[in-house]
Structures are given as C-alpha cells and as structure tokens.
Structure 1
Amino acid sequence: MIQPYTVPPDQIGMELDEFLSRLYPGVHKRVLRQLVREGRANVGGQAVHPAYRLRENDVVLVDDEDEELVGTVEPEPWNEPIEVLHEDAHVLAILKPSGLAVEPDRWDDSRPNLIAALQAVSDEREAGGTGEPFRPRLVHRLDRDTSGVMVVAKTVEAERELGAAFEEGRVSKRYLALVEGEHPLADGESEEIVLAIAADPRRTGQMCARKDGKQAITVVRVAQRFRGYTLVECEPRTGRTHQIRVHMAAKGFPLAVDPLYGRRKELLLSELKSGYRKKPGQVETPLIARLTLHAAQLEIPSLVEAGQVVRIEAPLPPDFARTLKQLSKVRPPRR
C-alpha cells in the first residue's frame, strides 16, 4: 500500500533520505536511498534524488509494504554515557567511544549506533533555539573502533554549512595513532604522505594504496617514542575511507592494533615486557583491544561568530592512556 506523508513545516528544506530515516529509524540510509533511486519512495509520484530538499506542500509517497521496510529492529541501547565536549545553538560535539558505530549496521540493525545513542542526549536539547528537540545530523564519520571528537549538526542549515566545510577542506583534523616500529622522523619535522587510495580488489571491505585511486594526503609528526613503537600525530588533508590506517601501513608503520591492516586484534603486556610471568590459569587482559587510533582534535568554522574557529579536543580514553603509560615503563625510547 502506498502511504502518503505530508511534509510538516519544521521539515521543509530537509533532504528526502533524512526525512525517510525519521519515518523508518531502524532502516539503514543505504536502503532508503536505494528505494528513492528505484522510485519506490518519491515525491508526489515523481522520481527525485535522495538529496532532494523537501518543499512546502510536498507529499512523500512510500510503499510501506516493501519487504525492506517491514520488521525493522530497534538497535540495542548503548549503556555508557556520551560525553559532550562542546555545544552551541548549531552543533553538538561529543566524545565517540570506541566500539560504537556511527550509523545503523547494514547487516545487523540491532547493534548499537551513535545516532540512536544520541537520541537521549538530543531529547534534552533544542535545535537552533526553536524550542524543539533536535535530531542528530551527521556531517562526518569515524570508524566504529576509532574513538574521539565527532560533531553533529542540530539544524538543517548547520548540516548544510558544516557539510560544505568538510567537503571543501575547511576543517582541520588531528589524530593520535600508536603504530608499530620506530619512526625515523626527527622531533619537530613532518612528513607528507601522498598516496592515492582505492578499494582493495582482493579483500572485501578493505582499501589499499593504488595509483588509480583517489588522491589522499596525510601529514605525520612524531608525538612520543618507545622501543618498537611510536605515537604519531596524523593530520588528514583529505577524507578517504581508512585513510590513516592505509597510509601508515603502506609506509611500514601499521597501527599497533588493527585487524585489517596490521597484525593483531589486541595488545598484551606480555608482548611488551620481557620476563613477563603469567600465573597458572590466568587469562591475560589486553592493554587495548581496539584500533589504536583516536580523533584528538577538530577545528571547525564557527556558526555563531563569523570568521572564528571552534577548536574541540577529546582526551585519550582510559585504555589508550593506560597503554601509553605501560609503554613508557617497559619500552622507553632508545638512547
């Protein structure tokens, strides 16, 4: 059955795929966009682009008996509090924990995701001073196992302006990455990695450095040295999928923990400390069991004061800080 949805006044100007995601919160946006492309979700019977901006008097038509919209599953709750790093009338910046996907999983809608987790936060806050709760609007992404600063827009206008800022390279990003190997860069020096990135034809879901890929640039500096490992600062000047992970691995310095591009899923103290003795029957707890990559800082154009920049910093999570502390103890830099 074709179900008509009249666009309410507060959603005029919203992109169609965003409007549909409100109607079907358990359905991944990829599915909704495909429905639009195939005409099974349209505006007034006319096929439009998923990014079509809704107008006054528009009526969205959806075949609500489509099997892809039936039986959707609400995601499991994320039981840890989401730390707010910055907020104004237009944006909300949070500390995304490792292990939390940004969007619903395309294969398993029941897994927790940031959008669902932010609903509890957004219900307590206004959208641009309207008095209405805001709906989190993504303007960039982080990998599920990467922690750090994430910014969401609170209004359609903020989504449009920040989205353009990210697209045009007017946003500065700084990551901290713990990598294998002792990086030869001298203190105070930087290296610009320029390697094109494309999908890896041999491994589904992975990327690789390839000449026929899209241009990718990452600036690298050494932040802290250890024996066998290095903490590096990475500033991606482009926003390719898995960019830092691919670039560091291609240069021979994969993340210390990275099951896709590195050689381990977790880092154990027994791997670092010579003479480590495990008690009989003891199961060793990893120092860190997720990507050793953290989005430490983000600078975005202020939407409050024209010409100003908002700098947002995210502290290291406990597992990352604990790992660096142990490395300082058992793997101090060579003299």
Structure 2
Amino acid sequence: MSREHSLSEEPTEFTVRARVEARRIDHYLHSRFPDYSRSVFQKVIDAGAVLVNGQAVKASYRVQQEDVIRVWLPVLDHDVPQAEAIPLRFVFEDEAFAVVDKPPGMVVHPAKGNWSGTLVNALQHHLDQLSSVSGEHRPGIVHRLDRDTSGLILVAKADGAHWALAKQFEERTIHKQYLAIVSGDPGRDSDYVEKLIGPHPTHREKMAIRRPEDGGKVASTFYRVVERFRGYSLILCEPKTGRTHQIRVHMAHIGCPIVADKLYSGRDRLTLGDLLGPDAPDADRVLIARQALHAHHLKLTHPRTGAPMELTSPLPADMEAVLDALRTHRPLAGPGR
C-alpha cells in the first residue's frame, strides 16, 4: 500500500450473517465501508490485508454466509471529526442505540468537502458513547440518508448493538417507509417498481436503471398514493432493497420525479409560481428547495432485548408547506383525493 493508503494497526473483524448473493468481496467491503472505493479495497486485498476464514483471498472471491472476514482498513487522511454543538432531535435513546430525526441539508458523516457540520459532529457533542464498528470517521453510523432527505436514522452507541442492527439491514428485516411529494400521478393507487439500479453511465453523482451486465443490481420499491392533486401526488414508499438513490430513481422512472430533486427532476426548488403561474402574486416565493423526501417510519427489533419497535417522524415544515399550497391551489375534485 502507498503512504496515502497506509493501513490501520488493528484489524476490523466480523462474520457475514446474511445471504449476500455471492458478491465479490471488493464490492461487499465497499458496501459495508462506503468511505473507501472498490479500487482502494482491491489494493488492500492485493496487499494481503483482507483475510477470509484466516486465509488471504483475491478480489474476485465470492462472499458466503458465515464467512469470518478480517480487514485492515486504510487510514483516512483527514482528522477525526470533532464534536460540534449542533441541535438534534432524538426520537428514541437508550444505552444501546438512538434514533435521530435528521433535518434536511445535513450530511450524515464527514467526507470530501464536508468535514464539519455533519450528523457525526453533532452526535459526538450529544452522546457520550458511539460504536466504533464503522471506524473513527463514522462512529455510530449504521446506515445513511442523503443530505437533503430528512427523517429517521439509526445510530449505534454500543458495538454489539451496531452489529445486531447491521444484521437486520442485511437480512432486510428493518422496514422503512418514506413520504415523497412527486410531480405527476403514477396512475395506479399502489404498485411495485422492480427495476435494476446501477451507476449512471456518464454522470458520476447519479444512479440509473441499468442492465445486469452494466452493473445493475436488484432493486424493489413498493409505493402507495396517499393523496392526489392536480399535477402532483403524495406517495408512501417502502424500499424493499437499499440501493443508492433507490426511491428517487424509481419514482423518476415511472414518470413521477420527486419535487425539487435536482439530480432526477432537473429542478432544485418548487415555487408558488409553479402552482399558480408566473404572473401570480408572490410567484417567486420558494415552497421547498430540496428533494421532497422524508424517512417517515421505521419498524425494527431492539438490538438487545428483541422487542419490536415502531418509530415515526412527522413531516418537516417545508414539505407541510408544499402540501398546504397544493391543497389550496391544486385540489383534485372527486373521489381521486
């Protein structure tokens, strides 16, 4: 390994507890530790710093359930994130884990271009203990939400709780519901979108519907129309898989991109003029300036007690403002409401 990718002194070890569809180990490690690219993990593997069941492997090795993996992660160049007194709303907290209602505009963990002001910086101020499983640059982080997606996110305080929650994600026993305001009407009251998702062929920040040979991975989203308006809909989405930008890509694919989703709708805001026309009074007033997507509901098993849990976050003010405007200016008469 080069100096820029020097390895940690202590390895990270874990057991693969769920089916992983025989994924290549470099892809699997990248999915568990997204701070590092697949090419970095290929170098780590070539350096003999990844052992499976005590043996060095090649990057093409296919991961199996119950494999014991030991990896010496590269040391990230940037300093460990510092505690910052950023307000947070905790929906739940005990000695094992916490659930935060993340505001829009907040990056989950430090990364290139965002070394402060993140959820991790705020967590280090509010909590005395965070799990170390994801490394010192992502303490406590079990999963993530996009910067401009608001709502519920799990945070592990103890390593054992982290592994237990991660297992639930791998086995897809954590159920997530999102509320989205979209342009258009999907037509059906409810349906599944089952289209493979992979990296966009030309835009590095986007994902796209892709064929298996082009990197597409199985992705499934259930949706249900909650409320219809003229030209817009409020949708409840339940992702059955966890692909990057999954709901955003699937909604755009069926012709109903999420409102103000710049990447997938081409617009980064919704104004009153979009509803009433450019000559309307106060037409320039911005109703929302980020994708109208909110992680609304979580159903899981407590990582220590095994007790079933359900947690809900109300819609944030900007999405409520959009709905108020739609109900006032774009109501849909008749039984479609």
TM-score, normalisation: structure 1: 0.74
> Percent identity among equivalent residues?
35
Which of these residues, 86, 91, 98, is aligned with residue 97 of structure 2? 91
Which of these residues, 217, 221, 229, is aligned with residue 214 of structure 1? 217
1:164 corresponds in structure 2 to 167
1:249 corresponds in structure 2 to 252
1:173 corresponds in structure 2 to 176
Q: Tell me the secondary structure at the aligned position of residue 86 of structure 1.
A: strand
Contact 2:144–2:153, Cα closer than 8 Å, also in 1: yes
2:303 corresponds in structure 1 to 303
| C-alpha displacement of 1:200 | 1.0
Deviations 1:105-152 (A, max 9, x none): 2x32434221111111112x688xxxxxxx942211111110000001
AA of the residue aligned to 1:151: L
Contact 1:13–1:156, Cα closer than 8 Å, also in 2: no
Distance of 2:285 and 2:13 partners within structure 1: 47
TM-score, normalisation: structure 2: 0.74
Structure 1 portions without partners, runs of 5+? 16-27, 55-59, 128-134
Which of these residues, 117, 123, 127, is aligned with residue 122 of structure 1? 127
Distance of 1:272 and 1:29 partners within structure 2: 40
Q: Is 2:295 the counterpart of 1:290?
A: no
Q: Tell me the secondary structure at the aligned position of residue 286 of structure 2.
A: coil
2:280 corresponds in structure 1 to 276
Q: Tell me the secondary structure at the aligned position of residue 300 of structure 2.
A: strand
| C-alpha displacement of 1:285 | 4.0
Contact 1:298–1:311, Cα closer than 8 Å, also in 2: yes
Distance of 1:287 and 1:231 partners within structure 2: 15
Q: Tell me the secondary structure at the aligned position of residue 262 of structure 2.
A: coil
Deviations 1:59-94 (A, max 9, x none): x999x9xxx63xx36769866411000112211000
CA shift in 2, pair 1:102/1:334, >3 Å: same
Q: CA RMSD in A?
A: 3.4
| C-alpha displacement of 1:47 | 11
Q: Is 2:177 the counterpart of 1:199?
A: no
Distance of 1:38 and 1:13 partners within structure 2: 17
- Could you say which structure has the larger radius of gyration? 1
Distance of 2:55 and 2:286 partners within structure 1: 52
Distance of 1:29 and 1:216 partners within structure 2: 22
Q: Is 2:99 the counterpart of 1:108?
A: no
Contact 1:227–1:334, Cα closer than 8 Å, also in 2: no
1:18 corresponds in structure 2 to none
AA of the residue aligned to 2:312: E
Contact 1:76–1:110, Cα closer than 8 Å, also in 2: no
Distance of 2:266 and 2:159 partners within structure 1: 42
Aligned length: 287
Structure 2 portions without partners, runs of 5+? 15-33, 58-67, 132-137
1:315 corresponds in structure 2 to 314
Deviations 1:157-176 (A, max 9, x none): 11111101001111100000
